[in-house]
Amino acid sequence: MPAVKDPYKVLGVDRKASQEEIKKAYRRLARRYHPDRNPGDKEAEERFKEVQEAYSILSDPEKRRAYDEGGGMFGGFDPGAFREGFASTFRGGFGSFGDILSDLFGGGARTSSGRARRGRDLETEVRLSFEQSLEGAQVPIAVPVEEVCATCGGTGARPGTQPEICPRCRGRGIESESQGLFAISQPCRACGGSGTRVTDPCPTCRGSGRVRRVRKLRVNIPPGVRDGSRVRLAGKGEAGQGGGPPGDLYVITRVDPSPIFRRRGDDLEVDVPITVVEALRGATIEVPTLNGTKRIRVAPGTRHGTVVRLRGEGPPRASGGGRGDIRYRLVIDVPRELTRDQQAAVDRLAEVLDGNPRAELLARARSASGGRPSGGSA
């Protein structure tokens, strides 16, 4: 295995050099021998590897101390292991080093920080009556948005001038600090990631390229929306940056409650009172619908809470495919007070309808308790 070259000699620094001196030497040599600047030059490529290897040692206090204490040899660790780790970093080729050392080399394509960006999505709410939610409506809205400045066309520069390339990041939109085999990239502090700067700002937008105004629209709300439904208006959000597309506008519906119906998914529900007599012997009763009234059949012996459906009489399905149902929940209306004649009728009915409807329930309860007798009255 070839010997590890003296990292101090590779970088051309003294053994007492500070970290800042080592970093400056590394940047100077990395710029000189980087493969992007020396395509096809094998000697420069090998020299670049040596520079990276040397900097990886001297930039790490532990590795540097181990090297120094070993008298110039790696007394504390195996150089072969380091070489393997170094080689694995570059198996994908040197193209990835454009990001790692982007602050060392000018020119080149703009990074994702400087490319066109899609505008932000926006949300707003509209208040609808219950009837509007069922039938659909066209409602006006006013939304504060940021739009492209008409004066400068979004450049942020005074008409007749153009933004300049940012001198700090050279138009890349990012700046990176290399630390051995790693780098920390962040948006350029001088241009905010745009890659340009405005020296003569537009008088309308003051250099931002965007202006804030209230956009007035009329929104078509489809039939069948519910409280909290989202209606998407494509391209009606905020303007994009750098020529990017605009975002979308989402309209959230807030529906006033109905005095009659409750919304249950695609269906409506309503409680319908019936008398004891209607529950016992059955009846045909009139019930409300969305378009007037209809008659439904109450079967003899109907129990409290029984649901009767009118299919296809509910709200339009927002997803399409017809209409939902109306569910009528039958509620037996028990009188709180009885007249003398009503009391007499109930007494006669009690004589006819003998038997204990709780007998089976109590029998199961006694069986579960092992036949023990129950307590007294509550």
How many CA within 13 A on the CB side of residue 97? 22
**Residue 375 domain-assigned (yes or no):** no
The pairing of strands 174-179 and 182-187 is antiparallel
Domain final position from 65, 100, 135: 100
For residue 238, what is the domain's CATH number? 2.10.230.10
DSSP bridge pairs for 250:
123, 232
69 shares its domain with 91: yes
Average pLDDT of the chain is 81
87 shares its domain with 197: no
Band (pLDDT 50/70/90 cuts) for residue 97 is very low
Highest mean pLDDT among 2-11, 258-267, 318-327: 258-267
Q: How many domains does the chain have?
A: 3
pLDDT of residue 166: 87
C-alpha 302 chain-centroid distance: 49
Judge whether residue 167 has pLDDT over 60.
yes
130 shares its domain with 244: yes
For residue 284, what is the domain's CATH number? 2.60.260.20
pLDDT tens-digit readout, 277-289: 999 999 999 999 9
Nearest to 29 by CA among 14, 9, 1, 15: 9
**Residue 106 domain-assigned (yes or no):** no
Judge whether residue 181 has pLDDT over 80.
no
Parent domain of 165: 122-255
What is the pTM for the complete model shown?
0.54
**Residue 261 domain-assigned (yes or no):** no
**Residue 126 domain-assigned (yes or no):** yes
